Homo-oligomer: A and B are copies of this chain.
Amino acid sequence: MLREHGPVSRPRTGRNRSGQARQAILDAALTLALQQGGAPTVDDLAASAGVGKQTIYRWWPSKWAVVLDALLDVADREVHIGGSNPLQQDLERFLASTFTAIARPGGTGPLLRALMAQAQLDAEFAVLWRERFIAPRRRALVALLDSARANGTAPAQLDAELSADMLLGAMWYRLLVGHAPLDTTLAQQLARSAVT
Protein backbone atom coordinates (compact mmCIF):
# COMPACT_ATOMS: atom_id res chain seq x y z
CA MET A 1 0.00 0.00 0.00
CA LEU A 2 1.64 3.14 -1.17
CA ARG A 3 -0.80 6.03 -0.97
CA GLU A 4 -0.71 6.40 2.75
CA HIS A 5 -2.54 9.49 3.84
CA GLY A 6 -1.00 11.42 6.64
CA PRO A 7 -3.06 12.54 9.61
CA VAL A 8 -6.53 13.19 8.24
CA SER A 9 -6.59 16.68 6.81
CA ARG A 10 -10.11 16.67 5.41
CA PRO A 11 -13.04 14.61 6.64
CA ARG A 12 -12.96 11.62 4.31
CA THR A 13 -16.15 10.64 2.63
CA GLY A 14 -16.88 8.03 0.05
CA ARG A 15 -16.56 4.30 0.06
CA ASN A 16 -13.56 3.01 1.93
CA ARG A 17 -10.82 1.07 0.30
CA SER A 18 -11.77 -2.55 0.06
CA GLY A 19 -9.43 -4.60 2.20
CA GLN A 20 -10.82 -7.62 0.46
CA ALA A 21 -9.76 -6.39 -2.95
CA ARG A 22 -6.36 -5.38 -1.60
CA GLN A 23 -5.74 -8.79 -0.11
CA ALA A 24 -7.03 -10.61 -3.16
CA ILE A 25 -4.62 -8.64 -5.31
CA LEU A 26 -1.66 -9.34 -3.06
CA ASP A 27 -2.54 -13.02 -2.79
CA ALA A 28 -2.95 -13.38 -6.52
CA ALA A 29 0.25 -11.46 -7.12
CA LEU A 30 2.24 -13.70 -4.82
CA THR A 31 0.79 -16.91 -6.16
CA LEU A 32 1.26 -15.99 -9.80
CA ALA A 33 4.64 -14.41 -9.24
CA LEU A 34 6.03 -17.48 -7.48
CA GLN A 35 4.52 -19.72 -10.12
CA GLN A 36 5.97 -17.80 -13.02
CA GLY A 37 9.06 -16.42 -11.37
CA GLY A 38 8.21 -12.89 -12.38
CA ALA A 39 5.35 -10.43 -12.43
CA PRO A 40 2.18 -11.67 -14.11
CA THR A 41 0.49 -9.47 -16.69
CA VAL A 42 -1.79 -6.86 -15.24
CA ASP A 43 -4.78 -8.45 -16.95
CA ASP A 44 -3.98 -11.84 -15.49
CA LEU A 45 -3.39 -10.35 -12.08
CA ALA A 46 -6.68 -8.47 -12.16
CA ALA A 47 -8.61 -11.44 -13.48
CA SER A 48 -7.06 -13.82 -11.00
CA ALA A 49 -7.85 -11.47 -8.11
CA GLY A 50 -11.36 -10.88 -9.43
CA VAL A 51 -10.67 -7.19 -9.64
CA GLY A 52 -10.73 -4.40 -12.23
CA LYS A 53 -7.41 -3.20 -13.55
CA GLN A 54 -8.18 0.29 -12.38
CA THR A 55 -8.29 -0.92 -8.81
CA ILE A 56 -4.69 -2.00 -9.15
CA TYR A 57 -3.56 1.22 -10.75
CA ARG A 58 -5.50 3.21 -8.18
CA TRP A 59 -3.30 2.00 -5.37
CA TRP A 60 -0.01 0.91 -6.89
CA PRO A 61 2.08 2.71 -9.47
CA SER A 62 2.83 -0.52 -11.31
CA LYS A 63 2.34 -4.24 -11.09
CA TRP A 64 5.91 -4.50 -9.83
CA ALA A 65 5.02 -2.47 -6.77
CA VAL A 66 2.20 -4.95 -6.15
CA VAL A 67 4.55 -7.88 -6.35
CA LEU A 68 6.96 -6.12 -4.04
CA ASP A 69 4.21 -5.55 -1.50
CA ALA A 70 3.17 -9.16 -1.79
CA LEU A 71 6.74 -10.25 -1.29
CA LEU A 72 7.21 -8.05 1.76
CA ASP A 73 4.18 -9.69 3.33
CA VAL A 74 5.92 -13.06 3.35
CA ALA A 75 9.62 -12.16 3.43
CA ASP A 76 11.57 -12.67 6.62
CA ARG A 77 9.15 -15.25 7.89
CA GLU A 78 11.98 -17.76 7.89
CA VAL A 79 15.01 -15.53 8.29
CA HIS A 80 16.95 -15.80 11.53
CA ILE A 81 18.39 -12.46 12.58
CA GLY A 82 20.08 -13.35 15.83
CA GLY A 83 22.50 -10.90 17.46
CA SER A 84 23.47 -12.35 20.82
CA ASN A 85 25.80 -15.16 19.78
CA PRO A 86 29.30 -15.20 18.35
CA LEU A 87 29.28 -13.47 15.00
CA GLN A 88 30.25 -16.44 12.93
CA GLN A 89 27.40 -18.45 14.32
CA ASP A 90 24.80 -15.69 13.99
CA LEU A 91 26.00 -14.81 10.54
CA GLU A 92 25.95 -18.38 9.32
CA ARG A 93 22.43 -18.83 10.56
CA PHE A 94 21.32 -15.58 9.02
CA LEU A 95 22.86 -16.43 5.67
CA ALA A 96 21.77 -20.04 5.68
CA SER A 97 18.17 -19.21 6.45
CA THR A 98 18.18 -16.50 3.82
CA PHE A 99 19.67 -18.80 1.22
CA THR A 100 17.16 -21.49 2.02
CA ALA A 101 14.21 -19.15 1.63
CA ILE A 102 15.60 -18.13 -1.73
CA ALA A 103 16.87 -21.37 -3.18
CA ARG A 104 14.45 -24.01 -1.98
CA PRO A 105 11.89 -25.28 -4.49
CA GLY A 106 9.10 -22.76 -4.66
CA GLY A 107 11.39 -20.24 -3.04
CA THR A 108 11.64 -16.57 -3.77
CA GLY A 109 14.76 -16.81 -5.92
CA PRO A 110 13.18 -16.31 -9.34
CA LEU A 111 11.06 -13.52 -7.95
CA LEU A 112 14.01 -11.70 -6.45
CA ARG A 113 15.86 -11.97 -9.74
CA ALA A 114 12.92 -10.53 -11.63
CA LEU A 115 12.46 -7.68 -9.17
CA MET A 116 16.13 -6.78 -9.17
CA ALA A 117 15.99 -6.83 -12.97
CA GLN A 118 12.95 -4.58 -13.04
CA ALA A 119 14.66 -2.13 -10.70
CA GLN A 120 17.33 -1.70 -13.38
CA LEU A 121 14.78 -0.92 -16.08
CA ASP A 122 12.36 1.28 -14.16
CA ALA A 123 13.82 4.13 -12.12
CA GLU A 124 10.58 4.70 -10.27
CA PHE A 125 10.42 1.13 -9.09
CA ALA A 126 14.13 1.20 -8.26
CA VAL A 127 13.40 3.64 -5.46
CA LEU A 128 10.74 1.40 -3.94
CA TRP A 129 12.92 -1.64 -4.33
CA ARG A 130 15.91 -0.03 -2.67
CA GLU A 131 14.02 1.62 0.15
CA ARG A 132 11.53 -1.05 1.01
CA PHE A 133 13.43 -4.26 0.33
CA ILE A 134 17.16 -3.89 -0.16
CA ALA A 135 17.99 -1.22 2.39
CA PRO A 136 16.20 -2.77 5.41
CA ARG A 137 17.93 -6.11 4.88
CA ARG A 138 21.30 -4.48 4.44
CA ARG A 139 20.74 -2.40 7.54
CA ALA A 140 19.94 -5.49 9.56
CA LEU A 141 23.18 -7.12 8.47
CA VAL A 142 25.23 -3.99 9.16
CA ALA A 143 23.69 -3.80 12.62
CA LEU A 144 24.56 -7.44 13.25
CA LEU A 145 28.17 -6.84 12.22
CA ASP A 146 28.46 -3.69 14.26
CA SER A 147 27.10 -5.28 17.40
CA ALA A 148 29.47 -8.20 16.93
CA ARG A 149 32.41 -5.83 16.76
CA ALA A 150 31.13 -4.16 19.91
CA ASN A 151 30.90 -7.43 21.86
CA GLY A 152 34.26 -8.61 20.60
CA THR A 153 33.24 -11.54 18.43
CA ALA A 154 34.31 -9.72 15.31
CA PRO A 155 37.73 -8.23 14.51
CA ALA A 156 38.03 -4.62 15.67
CA GLN A 157 39.07 -3.41 12.24
CA LEU A 158 36.02 -4.95 10.54
CA ASP A 159 34.28 -2.50 8.21
CA ALA A 160 30.60 -3.35 8.55
CA GLU A 161 29.46 -1.45 5.47
CA LEU A 162 32.10 -3.02 3.27
CA SER A 163 31.53 -6.48 4.69
CA ALA A 164 27.79 -6.19 4.16
CA ASP A 165 28.33 -5.28 0.52
CA MET A 166 30.69 -8.22 0.07
CA LEU A 167 28.43 -10.72 1.78
CA LEU A 168 25.19 -9.59 0.16
CA GLY A 169 27.07 -8.96 -3.06
CA ALA A 170 28.30 -12.53 -3.19
CA MET A 171 24.78 -13.74 -2.57
CA TRP A 172 23.22 -11.59 -5.28
CA TYR A 173 26.05 -12.27 -7.70
CA ARG A 174 25.48 -16.00 -7.40
CA LEU A 175 21.73 -15.59 -7.60
CA LEU A 176 21.85 -13.37 -10.67
CA VAL A 177 24.60 -15.17 -12.54
CA GLY A 178 23.69 -18.67 -11.48
CA HIS A 179 27.14 -20.16 -11.79
CA ALA A 180 26.97 -21.76 -8.33
CA PRO A 181 24.25 -22.53 -5.82
CA LEU A 182 23.22 -20.63 -2.72
CA ASP A 183 23.70 -23.40 -0.20
CA THR A 184 24.78 -23.93 3.39
CA THR A 185 28.37 -24.44 2.30
CA LEU A 186 28.43 -20.94 0.96
CA ALA A 187 26.87 -19.67 4.17
CA GLN A 188 29.68 -21.28 6.18
CA GLN A 189 32.40 -19.98 3.91
CA LEU A 190 31.05 -16.46 3.97
CA ALA A 191 30.55 -16.48 7.73
CA ARG A 192 34.10 -17.70 8.28
CA SER A 193 35.57 -15.15 5.92
CA ALA A 194 33.82 -12.36 7.78
CA VAL A 195 35.45 -13.08 11.09
CA THR A 196 39.01 -13.31 9.83
A residues whose Cβ falls under 8 Å from a Cβ of B: 38, 113-114, 116-121, 126, 130, 134-135, 138, 159, 161-162, 165-174, 176-180, 186, 189-190, 193, 196
Min CB distance A155 to B, Å, is: 9
Contact of A120 among B116, B168, B169 (CB under 8 A): B116
* Contact in complex: B117, A120 (CB < 8 Å): yes
Contact of A177 among B117, B134, B161 (CB under 8 A): B134
Contact of A114 among B120, B159, B167, B190 (CB under 8 A): B120
Give the distance in Å from the alpha carbon of A41 to the alpha carbon of B92 in the complex. 44
Q: Which residue of B lies closest to A189 (CB)?
A: B162
Main secondary structure of the interface of A (DSSP, over half): helix
Which residues in B have their C-beta under 8 angstroms from that of A193?
Answer: 159, 162, 166
Q: Which residue of B lies closest to A129 (CB)?
A: B177
A-B pairs, top 6 by smallest CB distance, nearest first, are: A169-B169, A169-B173, A117-B120, A117-B117, A169-B170, A113-B120
Known contacts A114-B120, A116-B120; is-contact A174 B169 (Cβ 8 Å):
yes
Contact of A173 among B121, B159, B172 (CB under 8 A): B172
Min CB distance A182 to B, Å, is: 11
Min CB distance A157 to B, Å, is: 9
* Contact in complex: A121, B130 (CB < 8 Å): no
Min CB distance A54 to B, Å, is: 11
Q: Which residue of B lies closest to A158 (CB)?
A: B193
Which residues in B have their C-beta under 8 angstroms from that of A178?
Answer: 126, 130
* Contact in complex: A180, B166 (CB < 8 Å): no
Q: Which residue of B lies closest to A162 (CB)?
A: B189
Give the distance in Å from the alpha carbon of A178 to the alpha carbon of B166 in the complex. 14
Which residues in B have their C-beta under 8 angstroms from that of A177?
Answer: 130, 134
Q: Which residue of B lies closest to A110 (CB)?
A: B120
